[in-house]
């Protein structure tokens, strides 16, 4: 079996909020790239990547050039292909377009491997379990008013979610009391039994994180995420040490090496791994193993349709972020039952692009 063809599709996907229907700005779109990688025996692997921003054309071109380099290769020799791509283009990585492009190719290769072997990816990667907890994400944003956030939280409850994430580091110049008030309101809307996560997106300094983190300990957060600059491993460790609330982080790290520094410094209690920034499925699983050795759970970041396989595969997978940015690209995605994502037995990713959506969103 050899890689024979590729099709790289730049997209602009609407930035709506299908979970709670509380979009911040109507009509805004998010750049996404889709990939189809076909073999000479008519198998097709698919992949998706993000973060091209306003230079999504450059990311698209990088994926095309890198895909051209692997035509004729055996798609099951994934580490060999990664090595070839690294040797040819890796000087423009790790933090940046090289890794985003490597990731989409790696995802498509794993989809192909699953299809070639007739195995779903979650099983191929370890098969720890077939149902995984999931949490609603992207709805309870910091830009909403307290009332809107409460309404959105109730909508998520009505939809059956048992876990959900909100944000602090409020816009403007909030006082610590403003931050405490907001997260308390969200907690009031959902009651004490729902797992509530809270993302800071690196907006606090370590001392602020310790101050506000202590004031909100009794809100009972499941985790506090990216409390300060993602590569301030010592600062993160200080916050993690000071708080009873678990601290999560890792989505902003590129490749696998920074995770070593993060876990060695005991910077976080929960390791969050972004598949596009880490370099694909192959590198995601390596970080999950590294975290396991440090007695740390791992969680996913965005693209739940793909990431559910990796969280389900490993013994230290905790929960899947249900961020529906890319859901509209597929004909069908895993069902949610009793707050858990249920994996199918279809080979590879078990996903099919919705061709009409690809045409509609084409950039």
Residues engaged in binding Mg ion (CB under 5 A)? 199, 225
Please provide the size of the chain in residues.
363
The least distance separating Mg ion from the CB of residue 359, rounded to whole angstroms, comes to 31
The least distance separating Mg ion from the CB of residue 141, rounded to whole angstroms, comes to 11
Q: Between residues 111 and 199, which has the closer beta carbon with respect to Mg ion?
A: 199
The least distance separating Mg ion from the CB of residue 263, rounded to whole angstroms, comes to 18
Q: If 0-12 CB within 10 Å is exposed, 13-18 middle and 19+ buried, where does residue 12 land?
A: middle
Distance of alpha carbon 200 from alpha carbon 235, whole angstroms: 14
Structure tokens belonging to residue 124? 């191929």
Q: Between residues 153 and 253, which has the closer beta carbon with respect to Mg ion?
A: 253
Q: Between residues 60 and 300, which has the closer beta carbon with respect to Mg ion?
A: 300
The least distance separating Mg ion from the CB of residue 225, rounded to whole angstroms, comes to 5
Q: Between residues 16 and 225, which has the closer beta carbon with respect to Mg ion?
A: 225
The least distance separating Mg ion from the CB of residue 311, rounded to whole angstroms, comes to 15
Distance of alpha carbon 121 from alpha carbon 104, whole angstroms: 15
Distance of alpha carbon 328 from alpha carbon 158, whole angstroms: 21
Other beta carbons within 10 Å of 45? 25
Other beta carbons within 10 Å of 271? 26
Q: Report which residue's Cβ sits closest to Mg ion.
A: 199
Distance of alpha carbon 325 from alpha carbon 93, whole angstroms: 25
The least distance separating Mg ion from the CB of residue 229, rounded to whole angstroms, comes to 13
The least distance separating Mg ion from the CB of residue 101, rounded to whole angstroms, comes to 22
Q: Between residues 15 and 64, which has the closer beta carbon with respect to Mg ion?
A: 15
The least distance separating Mg ion from the CB of residue 72, rounded to whole angstroms, comes to 39
**CA 49 to centroid of chain Cα atoms:** 10
Q: Between residues 252 and 294, which has the closer beta carbon with respect to Mg ion?
A: 252
Structure tokens belonging to residue 123? 């099983």
Distance of alpha carbon 115 from alpha carbon 335, whole angstroms: 21
Q: Between residues 163 and 225, which has the closer beta carbon with respect to Mg ion?
A: 225
Q: Between residues 111 and 274, which has the closer beta carbon with respect to Mg ion?
A: 274
The DSSP code for 347 is S
The least distance separating Mg ion from the CB of residue 264, rounded to whole angstroms, comes to 22
Q: Between residues 130 and 202, which has the closer beta carbon with respect to Mg ion?
A: 202
Query: 163 near 194, Cβ under 8 Å?
Result: yes
Distance of alpha carbon 204 from alpha carbon 176, whole angstroms: 11
Q: If 0-12 CB within 10 Å is exposed, 13-18 middle and 19+ buried, where does residue 21 land?
A: exposed
One DSSP character per residue, 297-339 reads -EEEES-HHHHHHHHHHSTTB--EEE-GGGGGGBS---EEETT
């Amino acid at each position: 079996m050899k890689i024979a063809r590729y099709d790289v599709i730049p997209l602009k996907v609407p930035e709506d909020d299908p979970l709670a229907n509380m979009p911040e700005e109507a009509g805004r779109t998010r750049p996404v790239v889709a990939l189809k990688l076909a073999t000479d025996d008519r198998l097709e692997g698919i992949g998706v990547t993000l973060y091209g921003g306003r230079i999504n054309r450059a990311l698209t071109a990088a994926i095309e050039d890198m895909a051209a380099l692997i035509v004729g290769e055996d798609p099951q020799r994934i580490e060999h292909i990664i090595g070839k791509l690294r040797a040819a283009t890796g000087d423009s990585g790790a933090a940046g377009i090289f890794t985003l492009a490597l990731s989409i190719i790696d995802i498509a290769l794993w989809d192909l491997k699953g299809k070639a072997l007739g195995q779903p990816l979650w099983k191929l990667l370890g098969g720890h379990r077939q149902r995984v907890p999931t949490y609603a994400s992207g709805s309870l944003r910091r830009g909403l008013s307290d009332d809107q956030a409460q309404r959105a939280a109730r909508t998520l409850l009505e939809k059956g979610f048992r876990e959900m994430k909100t944000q602090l580091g409020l816009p403007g110049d909030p006082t610590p009391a403003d931050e405490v008030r907001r997260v308390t309101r969200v907690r009031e809307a959902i009651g004490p039994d729902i797992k509530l996560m809270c993302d800071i997106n690196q907006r606090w300094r370590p001392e602020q994180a310790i101050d506000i983190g202590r004031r909100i300990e009794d809100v009972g957060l499941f985790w506090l995420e990216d409390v300060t600059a993602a590569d301030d491993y010592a600062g993160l460790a200080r916050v993690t040490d000071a708080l009873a609330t678990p601290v999560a982080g890792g989505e902003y790290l590129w490749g696998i090496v920074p995770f070593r520094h993060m876990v060695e410094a005991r910077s976080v209690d929960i390791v969050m791994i972004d598949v596009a920034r880490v370099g694909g499925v192959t590198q995601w699983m390596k970080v999950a193993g590294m975290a396991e050795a440090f007695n740390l759970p791992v969680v996913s970041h965005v693209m739940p349709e793909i990431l559910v396989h990796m969280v389900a595969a490993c013994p230290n997978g905790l929960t899947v972020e249900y961020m529906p940015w890319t859901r509209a690209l597929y004909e069908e995605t895993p069902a949610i039952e009793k707050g858990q994502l249920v994996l199918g037995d279809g080979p590879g990713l078990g996903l099919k692009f919705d061709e009409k959506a690809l045409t509609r969103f084409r950039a």
